[in-house]
Amino acid sequence: MMKRDTMNPYLAGFFLGMVLLATIFVTGRGLGASGALKSLVVTAVADVAPAHAESSPFYAHYVGPGKDSPLKSWLAFEVAGVLIGAFVSGLVSDRLKVVTEAGPRVASRLRWLFALAGGALFGVGAQLARGCTSGAALSGMAVLSTAGFVTMLAIFGTGYAVAWFARGLWLGGNVER
Amino acid sequence: MGPFVPDLISDQLNLVVALVLGLGFGFVLEQAGFSSSRRLVGVFYGYDFTVLRVFFTAAVTAMIGVLLLGSAGLLDVDAIFVNPTWLWPAVVGGIIMGVGFVIGGYCPGTSVCAAAIGKVDAMFFVGGGLLGIFGFAEAYPLVQTFNDSSALGPVKVFTSLGISQGVFAFLLIAAAVAAFAATTWIERRVAPASAPSLSFARRPHVLAGAALLVLGVVLLVLPDYKGRILSRVSSPSYAVAHAVPVMTADELAFRIVDHEPNVRIVDVRSPKAWAARSLPGSVNVATRDLFGKEWSATLSPRHVRKVVVGETEEQARIAGLLIRELGYENVAVLEGGFPKFEKTILTPAPFAFAGGRWDADVARFRDDARAEIARLAEQAKKAGQKQPIKEKKIQGGC
């Protein structure tokens, strides 16, 4: 039997569900992640090129005279909490380590490239779907939003559809970790 | 009754709440092993279904919690944020994210967790996410039309499927339990030596699955809170046991003409009927909306008599009983419904003298009241009927 270094997934799922439920119960909204990255981008653009930000229909929605900084948003604070919470978890479980994790046949540089590309795709997709796996799929499903289920099915359905083409990135050699 | 934003928790405090909830979110994600890309993508290759287990359990747990709290009247499910649907953008966005998941090995939330414990690939993923959002923002004018297409609003999934909430909740739970069993079977065949499920003790897992199914059956038959209270106050036996004072058309007309400050007319007829003809100073609210916090300022003052006006006296009585059931006091209902008021006061008709001592006074009063109410109604129309401002809706989404 393999020694497990992480929490039982069902128990973790239950705790995650309780955190989400507490969020909905107290604040009336769900959790998220990609929205905080958007706040970062909008803030950076508004600082570097304020005129451009105000003339663009995308940025103008978030910045402009009389509006708070996008970093003073709920999701930005929540994701700051995620960073700290994950760090604390890594600390107590002795998992803090600067390392690149890649499939057995993938060099670190290639892994970085694909991680960058995957992140970029998520950045684009999360704008269209109004949220990522957390904000749209998970939180949306909890409140029985149609968008939540559609997004979840599209993400995971596509994942299975394209996994075979990307198998070289993850499989090969010794699959076991 | 939750949610506590924006009434009990201010926008500023809400940011602190966000930080604390984020802490819990990040801690649990990392404890679940979501800071490992190889573990995350295992769900697509069959050697590690941790993602499916955590994700599905979390979604089902939160959904069950929302439904139970809603049914118990502890959470106003009509006030919480429901992610609006833009159907085709959601599909296309989901497809793009699916590809991103498989080649990048993370999703945004998990990449933040992994970056926090030092995974360099996750830092690249976060950087890629920033670039992707920047690219989308710059290309926004080109995709704006598609981005805003097929907007369905905050529609619920059971409505889209044409089934009841309870049936959908049960089916989702059954699907989750079936998926947990099936993926465990698959995982042990794909990775016979290292499947995470090998370390699961069989008994507690089977018991937990069975308990979940029992909860699903409970949800199947669970009445919703508002419907339950409405049906209780609508029953004839409840009306017998809880009488509501009745106000005659003449008395209400007198109080309107007298500019009595401590009377509030709550009109529960349809918005169309209210717009066509209504009493000066009345507010229009559907009976079901009386649950909303936005009406508590109107209904709370004890010294103000709330006079409920309905299409029929029965409609007004049900709304009046509901107002009392919700904890407000000093309620009366208009006798005979709005049509009787219309006939008695608003329509010039020859008074049927029945030989009563005060008949002449009553006839004169009704003539005066008709003229005065018409004048007040005209005045109100010029000023624009004032409805209490609807409460600011909770914002959400990414």
Query: How do B151-153 and B85-86 pair as beta strands?
Result: antiparallel
The model's confidence at residue A4, banded by pLDDT at 50, 70 and 90, is low
Average pLDDT over residues B300-309: 94
Pairwise pLDDT comparison (B357 vs B92), residue with the higher score: B92
- A164 at interface of B, judged by CB pairs closer than 8 A: no
The residue written with tokens 């490992």 in the block is B36
Determine whether the interchain pair B101/A10 forms a contact, defined as Cβ–Cβ distance below 8 Å.
Answer: no
The Cα B12–Cα A136 span in angstroms is 24
Mean pLDDT over each residue of chain B, to the nearest integer? 91
Average pLDDT over residues A82-99: 96
Average pLDDT over residues B331-346: 92
Instruction: State whether residue B175 is helix, strand or coil.
Output: helix
Instruction: State whether residue B71 is helix, strand or coil.
Output: helix
The residue written with tokens 């201010």 in the block is B10
The first and second tokens of residue B290, run together, are 């009386």
Dihedral pair phi/psi, residue A145, rounded to 5°: -80, 135
* Signed CA dihedral, A77, A82, A85, A88: sign only: negative
Q: Which residues contact B177 (CB under 8 A, 6 or more apart)?
A: B209, B212, B213
* Residue B173 to chain A, least CA–CA distance (Å): 12
Q: For A74-83, B1-10, B59-68, B352-361, which range has the lowest pLDDT when averaged over its residues? A: B352-361
Instruction: State whether residue B119 is helix, strand or coil.
Output: strand
DSSP B290-308: GGSGGGHHHH--TTSEEEE
- What ipTM did this prediction achieve? 0.95
Average pLDDT over residues B370-388: 78
Query: Which pLDDT score, from 0 to 100, does residue A177 have?
Result: 41
Query: Which pLDDT score, from 0 to 100, does residue B226 have?
Result: 85
Q: Which residues contact B139 (CB under 8 A, 6 or more apart)?
A: none
Degrees (nearest 5) of the Cα angle B131, A158, A82? 50
pTM: 0.84
Contact (Cβ atoms closer than 8 angstroms) between residue B374 and residue B347: no
The Cα A86–Cα A11 span in angstroms is 17
The model's confidence at residue A10, banded by pLDDT at 50, 70 and 90, is very high
Query: Which pLDDT score, from 0 to 100, does residue B192 have?
Result: 92
Which of B81, B121, B130, B205 to mutate to test binding with chain A, by most A CBs within 10 Å of its CB?
Answer: B121
Closest residue of chain B to A113, computed from CA coordinates: B124
Query: Which amino acid would we find at residue B231?
Result: S
Query: Which pLDDT score, from 0 to 100, does residue A3 have?
Result: 44
Contact (Cβ atoms closer than 8 angstroms) between residue B66 and residue B72: no
pLDDT(B93) > 60: yes
Determine whether the interchain pair B100/A120 forms a contact, defined as Cβ–Cβ distance below 8 Å.
Answer: yes
Which of B107, B111, B394 to mutate to test binding with chain A, by most A CBs within 10 Å of its CB?
Answer: B107
Chain A residues 27-66 within an 8 A CB cutoff of chain B: 27-35, 37-38, 40-42, 45, 56-59
Judging contacts by C-beta atoms under 8 Å, the chain A residues touching residue B79 are 28
DSSP E strands in B27-119: the ranges are 85-86
Determine whether the interchain pair A26/B160 forms a contact, defined as Cβ–Cβ distance below 8 Å.
Answer: no
Average pLDDT over residues B126-150: 96
Contact (Cβ atoms closer than 8 angstroms) between residue A111 and residue A102: yes
Q: Which residues contact A59 (CB under 8 A, 6 or more apart)?
A: A42, A45, A46, A52, A53, B137
Q: Which residues contact B195 (CB under 8 A, 6 or more apart)?
A: A2, B47, B48, B184, B187, B188
